[in-house]
A and B are shown apart, each in its own frame.
Chain A
Amino acid sequence: MTSTSHTTDHSDHGEGHGAHGHIELQYQPAVPVPKGKLAVWLFLSTEIMFFTALIGTYIVLRFGAPQGSWPSPHDVRVVEWLGALNTFVLICSSVTIVFAMEAAKRDVVDKARKWLMLTFLLGCVFLGIKAYEYNSKFSHGIHPAAPRSLLYDRPDINYLAGTKASCDEQLSLLLAEELSEGDAGSGDAGESTEPSEPGSDHDHSDGHHGHDDELAERLELIRSGLIEWTQKKVGQSESRIERELALESLAHQIYPRGKNERVETHLADELKETKALLATTESDAKTAQAKVTDLQKQIDDLNEKIKKAADEEDEEARKKLESKLGSQLESLTQESTDAAAEASRLADLVLPLQNRVAAMDQFGFVEHGINEHYHMRLPMVIPSGNTWANTYFLLTGFHALHVLGGLVAFLILLPMRLGVRRAGVLENVGLYWHFVDIVWIFLFPLLYLF
């Protein structure tokens, strides 16, 4: 547009150019802004489209999630006020970079540097808070991953199988570790030369072993008392609601998502029933066992009698007695085998019940779930948890990279003389920084408040 005006401006001199031999060429920018600023704005317009594509993807996925199937902030360890604090930090940094530019325009170099330094520090604070937030998610196993690796969408059979496989895997890992450590430990003892070191090493490994043993014990109890119990319930139950309740209870015990009265009352009722059943089964088993020993005693007595009968002098009386005792022994033996079978059946019933009660006493009503309380990594049910993690880390990760880029630019600018000549550069970096702020302005409600 302006270039055409340039030609028209000079059209009346056009014929004379060749004749005079000197042309007054002047740079005519197409857009009335410095080249650097234009480049930054062009870059920002591509950035606008890049981030709207990302944010749009998130919005569409969020809208597309049926009601209640998107994780609540608490489910995925999102702390709303930290997001709000970060918004505030970025807004402050936007103001400070503007003041830095204004100071540079007035050629007040010291002030410009002070404001830029403050902007840099605020950017660092933002990234620090972000890192803290990331850590709180990673430490809970909430990160992008394949479906059904650690996060499950719903408590179903797949989830049950996943928890069992996870328990088995962790147990076998512990076993392998123990074996390799045993080898390493013996090797260490042979190689070590300093007298003080082996002792401390030994203590350390002992503590480690204690921890491992504890973990293995816990895993065994979770496996038998929670997972296998649920498996049995799901296998035996006729009602779909009951099966779902059993699975949901397991998921709730491992990683509760808020308070779930329905599951908690179900678990409490079930525990009461299990305890009562355990008490009766145990007393039944005891009486059965008593019966077995009693019968054994009778058999022993009878054998004694048979031995005595052999001493009987009268042939006929002896035979009569022997046949009588023999038939008695036969029936007693039969009775004893039956009683023993019953006793072992009852004993088999007792063990899972005992495991269940022990597991429920230890893990049943842990306040923040087994994973949180014992720092464990069992599969968790967070509906759309994987989708959430993917989008969250994609969006915040790209934003954090942009913040990092801004910080690098600030670092490069800081040692320079931030006078009038640098005001343009400072303005361009500021434009970029404001854009980063704008992206966060949209990300904050979308990721923390939706």
Chain B
Amino acid sequence: MNQSQPTQHETHDDSHHGSHTGVFITVFVMLCVLTALSFWIANSHLMDNRYVGWGSMMAVSAAKALLVILFFMHLWWEKMWKYVLTVPAFIMGVLLVMLLVPDVGFRTQTYSNERRINAPVAEVVSAEAQAVEASSEPSSESSKH
């Protein structure tokens, strides 16, 4: 059964040829629409909270990648072996990012003032922050003592 798989696969492809071309064109149109969508998200109010905007754009990208993998790369029509090769790589890739973002990625959100001053911060923000800091520092110090 298994030894005849490759040839079966080919005949399978050939028999459904007409419908495949339709699928490819549909996928192509969807990819274009999704590209426009991520472009729209970047200029929309979703970016007001940057994590929401980034998350949405990454979701759109993941959808696009899935479309390409499933249809252009034929994984939709492949047998079970596709999971052996793609799932572990996918898990490692996602884990790599997911485990680093909470600590390394968000480290600046809990910066001490000293560290923030020495960090590459946009100067407008820093000047205002320092003005606030300068005005609040004596009171906080006096309250401590």
- Residues of A near any B CB (own CB < 8 A): 2, 5, 26-29, 31-34, 41-42, 44-46, 48-49, 52-53, 55-56, 59-60, 63-69, 80, 84, 87-88, 91-92, 94-95, 98-99, 102, 105-106, 153-155, 240-241, 244-245, 248, 251, 260, 262, 381, 383-384, 427, 430-431, 434-435, 437-438, 441-442, 444-445, 448-450
Contacts and interface: CB of A to CB of B under 8 A. Distances in A.
B122 A383 contact: yes
Given A33-B78, A244-B127, A49 B92 contact: yes
Nearest to A64: B105
Interface residues of B, number: 70
24 contacts: A2-B2, A29-B5, A32-B6, A42-B85, A44-B85, A52-B92, A52-B96, A53-B96, A56-B96, A60-B100, A63-B105, A66-B116, A69-B120, A80-B39, A95-B24, A95-B72, A105-B13, A154-B126, A240-B130, A241-B127, A244-B127, A434-B68, A434-B73, A445-B58
B6 A106 contact: no
Contacts of A448: 42
A161 B125 CA distance: 23
Contact of B121 (A102, A154, A260, A441): A154
Given A45-B86, A63-B104, A68-B122, 9 more contacts: A45-B89, A52-B89, A60-B104, A64-B108, A84-B35, A99-B21, A248-B124, A248-B127, A445-B61
A445 B17 CA distance: 34
Nearest to B21: A102
B107 interface: yes
A155 B84 CA distance: 52
A63 to B, nearest CB: 3
A255 to B, nearest CB: 13
Interface string B30-43: 01100110110110
Interface string B101-145: 100111110010000100111111111001100100000000000
B65 interface: yes
A248 B123 contact: yes
A345 B3 CA distance: 99
Contacts of B41: 449
A32 B101 contact: no
Nearest to A42: B85
A94 B6 contact: no
Contact of B81 (A31, A68, A105, A450): A31
A76 to B, nearest CB: 14
A102 B20 contact: yes
Contact of A32 (B2, B28, B125): B2
B100 A153 contact: no
Interface of B: 2-3, 5-6, 9-10, 13-14, 17, 20-21, 24-25, 28, 31-32, 35-36, 38-39, 41-42, 50, 54, 57-58, 60-61, 64-65, 68-69, 72-74, 78-79, 81, 84-86, 88-90, 92-94, 96-97, 100-101, 104-108, 111, 116, 119-127, 130-131, 134
B17 A102 contact: yes
B57 A69 contact: no
Nearest to A247: B123
A66 B130 contact: no
B35 A59 contact: no
Contacts of A64: 104-108
A24 to B, nearest CB: 12
A151 to B, nearest CB: 10
Contacts of A427: 74
Query: Which of A44, A94, A241, A435 counts the most B-chain CB atoms under 10 A from its CB?
Result: A94
Contacts of A384: 120
A409 B78 CA distance: 24
A66 B69 CA distance: 35
The 8 lowest CB-CB distance pairs between A and B, nearest first, are: A52-B93, A63-B105, A32-B5, A153-B120, A68-B122, A449-B42, A445-B57, A48-B89
Contacts of B134: 240
A438 B86 contact: no
Given A64-B106, A94-B68, A154-B126, A33 B121 contact: no
Contacts of A55: 97
Query: Which of B21, B41, B79, B101 counts the most A-chain CB atoms under 10 A from its CB?
Result: B101
Contacts of B68: 94, 434, 437-438, 441
Contacts of A105: 10, 13-14, 17
B72 A434 contact: yes
B6 to A, nearest CB: 6
A60 to B, nearest CB: 5
B3 A27 contact: yes
A87 B35 contact: yes
Contact of A56 (B20, B31, B100): B100
A63 B106 contact: yes
A45 B84 CA distance: 10
B60 A98 contact: no
A81 B10 CA distance: 40
Query: Which of A59, A60, A437 counts the most B-chain CB atoms under 10 A from its CB?
Result: A60
A328 B114 CA distance: 66
A80 B17 CA distance: 37
